């Protein structure tokens, strides 16, 4: 774990926030540059505000060698199933 801004490892936990989709996100404070960030900061899919389970799954799918298009297609099929689980 390091600061996405200055790469410092002087990170402290700084409370939690609950997003609109109900996902709980850990917030952090960088003691070096005093910037705040959270678990999703810097992640490519952060702006989509998808539940973190889907984000994680999407990452796994992508690391397993599927292209971006393939990832999107598999989510089109299984989106509601993932939400329920």
Residues that bind Zn ion (CB under 5 A): 3, 5-6, 8, 30, 32-33
Q: Which is nearer to Zn ion, 32 or 71 (CB)?
A: 32
* CA–CA separation, 23 and 41 (whole Å): 14
Rounded to the nearest 10°, the torsion over CA 53, 56, 9, 16 is -10
| Residue 6 C-beta: closest distance to Zn ion, Å | 3
3-state secondary structure of 25: strand
Which of 52, 43, 60 lies closest to 18, judged by CA?
52
3-state secondary structure of 61: helix
| Residue 13 C-beta: closest distance to Zn ion, Å | 15
Q: Which is nearer to Zn ion, 14 or 71 (CB)?
A: 14
| Residue 31 C-beta: closest distance to Zn ion, Å | 8
Q: Which is nearer to Zn ion, 26 or 56 (CB)?
A: 26
């Amino acid at each position: 774990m390091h600061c996405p801004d200055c790469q410092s490892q002087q990170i402290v936990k700084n409370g939690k926030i609950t997003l609109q989709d109900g996902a709980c996100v850990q917030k952090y404070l960088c003691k070096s540059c005093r910037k705040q960030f959270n678990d999703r900061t810097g992640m490519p899919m952060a702006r989509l505000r998808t539940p973190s389970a889907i984000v994680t799954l999407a990452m796994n799918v992508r690391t397993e060698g599927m292209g971006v298009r393939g990832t999107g297609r598999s989510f089109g099929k299984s989106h509601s199933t993932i939400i329920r689980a």
